[in-house]
Amino acid sequence: MSGDKEKIYLFDRPKNVDRLLKGFYATCILLVLADFILHRHIGFDWEKIPAFYAIYGFVACVLLVVVAKRMRNVLMRKEGYYDD
Amino acid sequence: MMTELPPFLLYFIAALLVAATRGLPRQLILLATPVVTGLYLWQSIEPGAHVVYSLMNYDLTLLRVDKLSLLFSYLFCIASFFAGIFSLHVKDTKQHVAGLMYAGSALGAVFSGDLITLFIFWELLAISSVFLIWARGTERALKAGMRYLVFQVLSGVLLLAGALVYYHQTGSLAFDHIGLDAGVAGWLIFIAFGIKSAFPFLHSWLTDGYPEATVTGTVLLSAFTTKVAVYSLARGFAGEEILIYIGVTMACFPIFYAVIENDLRKVLAYSLINQVGFMVTGIGIGTALALNGAVAHAFSDVIFKGLLFMSMGAVLYRVGNINGSDLGGLYKSMPKTTVLCIIGALSISAFPLFSGFVSKSMVMTALMQEDHGYLWLLMLFASAGVFHHAGIKIPYFAFFHHDSGIRTQEAPRNMLVAMGVAAALCIFIGTQPQYLYALLPWEVKYWPYDVTHVLAQTQLLFFSALAFVWLNKRGLYPPELRSVNLDAEWLYRRLLPTGAQRILNLLADIKESALTKISVQTQRVQNEFSKSPIAKYHLAESWQTGSMVFWISAILGAFLLLEIFGLGH
């Protein structure tokens, strides 16, 4: 980076990033498995879908980002737009 | 007869003292004021206390105490305590005075027993808080502060107008349940509260003003104005169904803006609207559980949003910039701020064991109990979205992401202590919610920690995070770009000025063409005249101004001479 002497930080090593991500994926898998073992109370019918919350969370966020990106086409102006 | 001292007076006196002192004494006053006021409220003010002050035959109810107002007053003392620690290094007198006046006005507002007293504190909130924006000293801040003030004062004017109509209709000015059945008066007051709660289309003062305020000012701003409005809605309009729809809209639309916004304090401003959306929805549902959820969420929100604004403030203070596009890798030089920011992020995302979880789940459960299926789905979407933009985006783009090469220092010690206090509270409320629940105004049994809630929420959040990871790996995540995104403010910052300019141009054109027409006509008349035989006489010619003045002077001179020699008599 900026100098030879600079300390190597936690996430400068790709191995550490990799470990973090692997742990994260493992937790995600465990959470889905837990859905089949533990009993959830059901308030609405759609909650009966296996791993409903996991699917909903993933889809919701992908949709959110895709739509927000599209919004940029319409809404984005250069910095200082109002100052002109 | 005054029995108890209204707590806002302690803050106003402190504001005077802070103006007169410097250095250590001032710092002590800043720290002591919320502690002393908090202890006083805790020990000596009981529900049912009542203080009336007569002014010109009108009774101002300065202190009306019940569990609802007490809860908010504790909250405001806590907020001004950590905000006070956070701003201990600030030398600027006007910021400290404004901050204390602002916090005091918030206390005054939640204890107001009638609409006129409420109006007075409503306007004091507006006037004191704008100095926290102006104190930034930039031209942008000056202009944004002006726009902010216009909205705030408008809200006050509507409140006063509503109060007067309300008095005319009912003969009472008591600030209790008002409701939209009160007709025009109800609607005027509703919109006044709505402006301050940042209802959709009335929200842009918040996203416009808050990011322009000073490092420490934004922390205070995020705590008081919208929460006073939430309190007022809970008191005046609990159970109004329209609030459910407004609240759901508020929870959903800002998250899209938050995803594409570059200024990280503006991202937090959008997420502030999103969180107030959950409170407004709870108030709209109006059941005991929903109302408790709304005010409990206000309580958690002030603390975790304060923590997040403090962590971004610390970055701005150290780096001088808060744009996501220019930051990254700051965990290397600000590790403590990073950890504290992550605690705030986990709290706003409502992770189990953090404060957002124990309050937001009440509103979600209330929606389910009242069988609002589709709205519940939308709010679940908003919950996932919060994690996405506030929980991940804020810490990720500031502290991780690619290394921006910025090497700076850890936040100053007072800032770390302030963030530490807020972070400790987030975890305390999240793990020991019974203490917060005991303060809630309505009687209801509720406990957030069961298998269903914890599992569902954890799945939702982890898979939202998974979506973030996946989008990033695929290169689909929108990069942070230096830009402005059009929002409701476009209406008055672009459409109105350009519209007005167009109208002015149009009027100028009309004037121009009218003048041309008239001069053409006069020219034509003169031409006609010069053709006529009269024009040949010497006197009918057009004279030069100079010669006219000369001849008039000559005539006047002649009169003067006649007068002097007495020939006129």
Q: Per the CB < 8 Å rule, is A60 touching B466?
A: no
Q: What is the pLDDT of residue A5?
A: 61
**Residues 140 through 179 of chain B touching chain A, CB cutoff 8 Å:** 140
A72 to chain B, any CB pair closer than 8 A? The answer is: yes
Under 8 Å CB pairs connecting chains A and B tally to 153
Q: Per the CB < 8 Å rule, is A61 touching B380?
A: no
**Residues 314 through 333 of chain B touching chain A, CB cutoff 8 Å:** 331-332
- HSE at residue A80, side-chain half, CA atoms within 13 A, is 2
Q: Per the CB < 8 Å rule, is A64 touching B259?
A: yes
Contacts of A72 in chain B (CB under 8 A): 260, 478, 481, 483, 485
- Tell which residue, B277, B226, B230, has the closest CA to residue B250: B277
β-strands B50-55, B58-64 pairing? antiparallel
A48 to chain B, any CB pair closer than 8 A? The answer is: no
Lowest mean pLDDT among A40-49, B143-152, B549-558: A40-49
Identify the residue whose tokens are 């008239």: B518
**Tens digit of pLDDT for each residue in B165-218?**
999 999 999 999 999 998 899 999 999 999 999 999 999 999 999 999 999 999
Q: Judge whether B277 and B270 are in contact, CB under 8 Å.
A: no
Q: Per the CB < 8 Å rule, is A64 touching B385?
A: yes
Q: Is the pLDDT of residue B508 over 50?
A: yes
What is the DSSP code string of B22-67? -HHHHHHHHHHHHHHHHHHHHHH--TT-EEEEEETTEEEEEEE--H
Per the model's pLDDT, the better-predicted residue between B96 and B564 turns out to be: B96
What is the mean pLDDT, run by run of 10 residues, along chain A of 84 residues?
A: 64 85 92 86 83 93 91 85 77
**Residues 335 through 394 of chain B touching chain A, CB cutoff 8 Å:** 368, 373, 376-377, 380-381, 384-385, 388
Q: Per the CB < 8 Å rule, is B451 touching A65?
A: no
A41 to chain B, any CB pair closer than 8 A? The answer is: yes
Q: Per the CB < 8 Å rule, is A40 touching B456?
A: yes
Tokens for B14, please give them.
Answer: 């402190």
Q: Per the CB < 8 Å rule, is B455 touching A34?
A: yes
User: What is the CA angle B490-B206-B425, rounded to 5?
Assistant: 155
Q: What is the pLDDT of residue A1?
A: 44
Q: Is the pLDDT of residue B16 over 90?
A: yes
Q: What is the pLDDT of residue A81?
A: 83
Per the model's pLDDT, the better-predicted residue between B271 and B548 turns out to be: B271
> Best of B146, B349, B462 to disrupt the A interface by mutation (most A CBs within 10 Å)?
B462
Task: Look up residue B55 and give its amino acid.
Answer: L
**Tens digit of pLDDT for each residue in B364-409?**
999 999 989 899 999 999 999 999 888 888 999 899 888 888 888 8
Q: What is the pLDDT of residue B1?
A: 37
Contacts of A77 in chain B (CB under 8 A): 483-486
B515 to chain A, any CB pair closer than 8 A? The answer is: no
Alpha-carbon span B312 to B338, nearest angstrom: 10
Q: Is the pLDDT of residue B53 over 90?
A: no
Q: Is the pLDDT of residue B538 over 70?
A: no
Q: What is the pLDDT of residue B567?
A: 65
Q: Quote the mean pLDDT of chain B.
A: 92
Q: Is the pLDDT of residue B51 over 50?
A: yes
Q: For residue B350, what pLDDT band results from cuts at 50, 70 and 90? A: very high
Tokens for B312, please give them.
Answer: 């971004």
CB atoms within 10 A of CB B456: 22
